[in-house]
Amino acid sequence: MYQPGKRSDSWINTITEQRIVLEELLEDSPSLRCDPRAIYSPIGKRTVAFLPEVFEQCYQKARIKAAQETGIKLSTFPSQCSFAQEQVLEAGFFPEVLNRESGIGNRESGIGNRE
């Protein structure tokens, strides 16, 4: 059951931890350094390379997982990521926190509303 009032901010810790893991994986991927399609992005104090199609694949998998875990229809989640790859990897980027502080809630985005 979706209970936004009972949700904690532990997701921020999870995202931060996964960004660190991803940063290390990207930094240690020599094959990306040679790929002409690679996009170089500053993450923390480092610049790493990643491929746009990998980002898209990861986003689609994340949509499916989020739909399964929340019981919310897959179509509720945007089919394309709403944020640039660089934003997603940025250490301090948490759109929901920004929305909360500015008074914009998830109801406006449709996320969390079951049909």
pLDDT tens figures, 58-98: 899 999 999 999 999 999 999 999 988 778 878 888 887 65
Cα–Cα dist 75/81, whole Å: 13
Cα–Cα dist 103/51, whole Å: 34
Rounded to 10 degrees, the C-alpha dihedral 8/14/19/22 comes to -150
Cα–Cα dist 89/60, whole Å: 16
| pLDDT tens sequence across 8-31 | 678 788 888 988 887 777 777 766
Neighbours of 77 (CB within 10 A): 20
- The reported pTM is 0.59
